[in-house]
Amino acid sequence: MDEIKFGTSGWRGIIAKDFTFANARIVIRAIGEQLIAAGRASAGVLVGHDNRFMGEDFSRDAVGVLAAAGIRSWLCREGVPTPVIAFEILRRRAAGGVNFTASHNPPHYNGIKFSPAWGGPALPETTHDLEARICRLQNGTPVDAMDYSQAIAKGWVEEIDPRSFYLERLRQLVDVGVIAAAGIRVAFNPLYGVGQGYLDRVLREAGVAVSVVNNRRDPSFGGHAPEPSAEVMKDFVDLVRGDEGIALGVATDGDADRYGIIDGDGSFIEPNYILPLLLDYLIRRRGLKNAVARSVATSHFVDAVARSHGVEVYETPVGFKYIGELIRDGKILLGGEESAGLTMAGHVPEKDGILACLLVVEMVAREGKSLKELLADLYRRVGGYFTRRINIHLTGALQQSFQEKLAFPPAALAGKKIDRLVTLDGSKFLFADGTWILYRLSGTEPVVRVYIEAFSPEELERMAGEAASFISEG
């Protein structure tokens, strides 16, 4: 039997191949055993699912596994965003939460995200313990589960709708009055995921005109991975570009923890630019001030904005769990990753695509400018930053030679002397002029992810070529 391993955001597998009821039962049982061992089981567990194939069946089976282990649970009646699970864990002071989701992965995947009592993604010490428990269970007898109707009848499971409390929190964090007063129209694309009925509801109840597409359940997600990227959302980009009345297009992924932003002219605005824009906005216009956190792979544009306002920057490994810790501990105002994860102080220590979209809408409404205009203003104040990520597949000898290169890094790269090497997560080469290149090996496939940042498009192009050549050259 294949090992069940947790990545940066839970365990994922192909439905009917890796992701089976038998394997899901093992993972849920391991979570239950961990909570029992920690003395937390009596606090109960949140269980939900996104819009993927058989999500209800997996979640109902899961609460049966928990019931058989003597653990009570709250089961979300409908598909639920991951940040809502996080919020409800904190509100109910639960022992943790489980969401059956593969986030932005293709439709033939499903997964399990486990959030412990503090509401953020499980930290490595938690997932390592789970993996050890899973391994023992894989080599033991099949895991039992109480029948769902029996679990309900005996009071082990309570069906809930967590929507209202979460939406009220959003109304506290986002100035919907400002949005409504601006009279702008917003387009929203939930990509057939569970963001529908959340983001659009907040705006509509405030009197904002919202045009929504792909707002029905479709386990195939329209034939694409539910990822809010320019490549996946070409039709949505065309919609926003073709309608002069739409000021902004916003999107969420399958479980609504990631976001995608399209300016009124149809330009896709990368998360690397959204994070510094929001940091500047929250400090300058909202009067909020605290440190900011970004992952090692995220643009230093954030750092430039932070310096301009005199606030500290925390650099974290890739994985939102590390940013979540800083939110939990009250150390930062805002935290985000280039992979479209973001949250803010006073909210959940988990990425929230719904909140991110609403904050961007508020910013555009209050400033009365497009995102490209706001970005140009920020460039004038702190300088321009240009980023790129490329994936390079490594095969055989090339993989070995590349790892040897990283073990003995060069003195110079891309025609520049290396000023500093950061090995927080991967190998990040920092140059004296502020540009950088990061090499980060994938933990699941023979791929190296290369991140490059420069101060002009031309320099970015040159550095990207040099960064790729460093891998392929003998």
Q: What's the CATH code of the domain at 426?
A: 3.30.310.50
Q: How high is the pLDDT of residue 402?
A: 85
Give residue for tokens 């000023």: 419
Q: Does residue 35 sit in the same domain as residue 130?
A: yes
Q: Report yes or no on 99 lying in a domain.
A: yes
Say what the pLDDT of residue 1 is.
53
Q: Are residues 362 and 236 in the same domain?
A: yes
Domain, as residue range, for 461: 386-472
Name the residue among 187, 433, 116, 104 with its Cα closest to residue 300.
433
Judgement on whether residues 311 and 205 belong to the same structural domain of the protein: yes
Among 382, 402, 432, the domain boundary falls at: 382
Same domain, 418 and 351: no
- 3 lies in a domain? no
Residue ending a domain, among 337, 359, 382, is: 382
The verdict on residue 155 lying in a domain is: yes
Residues 22 and 120 in one domain: yes
Any domain includes 5: no
Per-residue pLDDT of the chain (474 residues; tens, 9 = 90+): 578 988 877 899 999 999 999 999 999 999 999 999 999 999 999 999 999 999 999 999 999 999 999 999 999 999 999 999 999 999 999 999 999 999 999 999 999 999 999 999 999 999 999 999 999 999 999 999 999 999 999 999 999 999 999 999 999 999 999 999 999 999 999 999 999 999 999 999 999 999 999 999 999 999 999 999 999 999 999 999 999 999 999 999 999 999 999 999 999 999 999 999 999 999 999 999 999 999 999 999 999 999 999 999 999 999 999 999 999 999 999 999 999 999 999 999 999 999 999 999 999 999 999 999 999 999 999 999 999 999 998 887 787 888 888 888 889 999 999 999 999 999 999 999 999 999 998 866 788 999 999 999 999 999 999 999 998 875
66 belongs to a structural domain:
yes
Enumerate the β-bridge partners of residue 114. 98
pLDDT of residue 2: 73
Residues 320 and 466 in one domain: no
Task: Residue 25: give its domain's CATH number.
Answer: 3.40.120.10
288 & 414 share domain: no
The pLDDT assigned to 444 comes to: 67
Q: How far is CA 390 from CA 80, 117, 128, 174, 400, in A?
A: 32, 36, 30, 34, 20
Entry pTM: 0.96
424 with 356, same domain: the answer is no
**Count of domains forming the chain:** 3
Q: Are residues 441 and 370 in the same domain?
A: no
> In the listed set 161, 193, 208, which residue is the last one of a domain according to the structure?
161
